[in-house]
Amino acid sequence: MIRRLLIVLLVAVLGLLGYAALQPDRFRVERSTVIAAPPAAVYAQIDDFNAWARWSPWEKRDPAMQRRLGGAARGVGATYAWKGNDQVGAGRMTITEAAPAQRLVIRLEFLEPFAATNTAEFALQPQADGTKVTWAMHGPSPFLSKLMQVFVSMDAMVGKDFETGLANLKSVVASGAGVAR
C-alpha cells in the first residue's frame, strides 16, 4: 500500500515537473489604459523616478521602504534602488531607453525575494481622447519561475499591480501633478 502511494506520488511530482518544463521560456505581462491628457503630461510622471511615489502601486505597500535615486535626474541613466518589506523586496531600476512622450524602457533587477532581471516598458500613443498608455514587463522564465507559474501565473500576480498603477497614474495626471515640464 505504501509502495503504491509512493509510486503515485512520484508520478505526480514527475508529471508536475514535466508540465512546468514545457511552459514558455519567456513571459510578458501587459496592461493598457487611456489617460485624458497629452503624452507629455503622462511621460513627465514615468521618466522621473521622483514622481513614482505619487502613483506606483508598490510605494503604498511599504511606506517605510528605503529608496535611493541616482544617475541622471530623469531619462536615460536615471536609477532607483529600493529595499523594503517582503511585499516589495529589494531591487534596482535603470532607464535604458527614452523617447520623450513616446516610449520608456527600464532594466528591472530584482534582488529579493528572488533574483531576476527583466525589462519594463511604457509605450504612449496619442488618441483622440488622450493618451493610450501601455505598461509591460517581460523577461526569461527559468525553470523555478515556470514551476511557480504552474500555481500562480505571472500575469495574475503582476497584472493587478499594473492595473492599480495605471489607475493611480491616471488620477495623478488628472489632478495636474503630471503637467509636463
Give the DSSP letter string of 103-172. EEEEEEEEEESS-EEEEEEEEEEEETTEEEEEEEEEEE--HHHHHHHHHS-HHHHHHHHHHHHHHHHHHH
Supply φ then ψ for residue 113, to 5 degrees. Answer: -80, -15
User: What pLDDT score was predicted for residue 6?
Assistant: 81
User: What pLDDT score was predicted for residue 181?
Assistant: 43
Supply φ then ψ for residue 30, to 5 degrees. Answer: -150, 140
DSSP code at position 65: -
Q: Which residues of the chain have pLDDT under 70?
A: 22, 146-147, 177-181
Please, which residues bridge with residue 28 across strands? 138
User: What pLDDT score was predicted for residue 147?
Assistant: 65
Please, which residues bridge with residue 118 across strands? 108
In angstroms, rounded to a whole number, what is the distance separating the alpha carbons of residues 148 and 141?
A: 10
pTM of the predicted structure, to 2 decimals = 0.82
